[in-house]
Amino acid sequence: MAYTHMRFRKDPAQQADRAPGTVRWRRRRWNCAIAVLAIVITATSAAQTGATPTGDIATYAPGSYSELMVPSAMGPIKVQVRWATRGGSAALYLLDGMRARDDRNAWSFETNAVQLFENDDVTLVMPVGGQSSFYTDWRAPSNTNGQKTTYKWDTFLTRELPTFLSAHGVSPRNNAIVGLSMGGSAALTLAAYHRDQFVFAGSFSGALDLTAPGMREAIRIAMLDAGGYNVDAMALPWSPQWLRMDPYVFAPQLRGLSMYISAASGLPGRFDHPSSAIGAFNTTTAMGLEALCLVTTRAFQMRLNTLGIPAHYDFPGTGTHGWKYWEAQLANARPQILHALNTE
């Protein structure tokens, strides 16, 4: 936390009436009071965030956890970081889904991701925010929900954030990236266009064929439901910007990349136990979403097979669009991630 020292202009007449010794004593007392207040504020802030203040060397100790505010074209972006256990430079970026929150990345509390990698020499990077963004650079702010700032997530994740992290020992080149749902297609997109940064990409229940009939309108409805965002502000229909986001289209650029691709059948599985009408409704919705993602992921698989590009696939016979299933997929992908990062 930075503090600005303020100067208060004294009235010349009052200053002339004071003895020099008295003035110096009062100044010392005032400066001491300011110093004590600064210490109290800093300590209180650290206690509230659960982390030492940014810039303290303890914040970046191997195996520790930090919440950073990283400068970007969108303004400061919160990033949750669990630093590599032994101070290594490899990193795993974990992207959120369409309903990404502004306070925490859901990987940090919906799953055991931090515990899963706690003994591995890999820094977990969990950016916060980006609801309905597809983690791409938008053409304009959304005009259906009063958005003030144009999303520039591609720029943030591939330029601003790596530059910031490299100053703290994280490699800008030896990185893996994983995402679920919206973040799944985004992970493949970011890896495809930034091969110098990412050596692995994982998509769990991603929409991997955005040019399929009806997909744009399905995404339009989903984005309006998740924050009221307008898909046309992201990219115009079938424009180069829209095609750039489609894994089915840019698939040839994935050759040589280590990939883990999964989607379940949509049939209720071991983590689906609705006990109320709302629970049953949510499960039904999750079934439909997962079935749609399975169709597009299978189409993407056929596309890669046609191109002769290998990837690891997992298509469980049961499972819906939910965090516990993605937690299980991350555990399954972990050995491949560590191998790609050369941190086994």
Q: Is 321 a catalytic residue?
A: yes
Backbone angles phi, psi at 64, to 5 degrees: -90, 175
* Neighbour tally for 325: CB within 10 Å: 25
Q: Give kind and range of the element (H or E) at residue 177.
A: strand 175-180
Residue 139, SS3? coil
Q: Is 290 a catalytic residue?
A: yes
Locate 64 and state its tokens.
Answer: 């520790």
Chain-centroid distance of CA 80 in Å reads 8
Active-site entry in 72, 133, 185, 321: 321
d(CA 237, CA 231): 9
List the end-to-end C-alpha distance of the chain, in Å, as a whole number.
Answer: 37
Q: Is 181 a catalytic residue?
A: yes
Locate 314 and state its tokens.
Answer: 């997992």
Chain-centroid distance of CA 336 in Å reads 20
Active-site entry in 181, 185, 203, 205: 181
Chain-centroid distance of CA 234 in Å reads 18
Active-site residue numbers?
Answer: 181, 290, 321
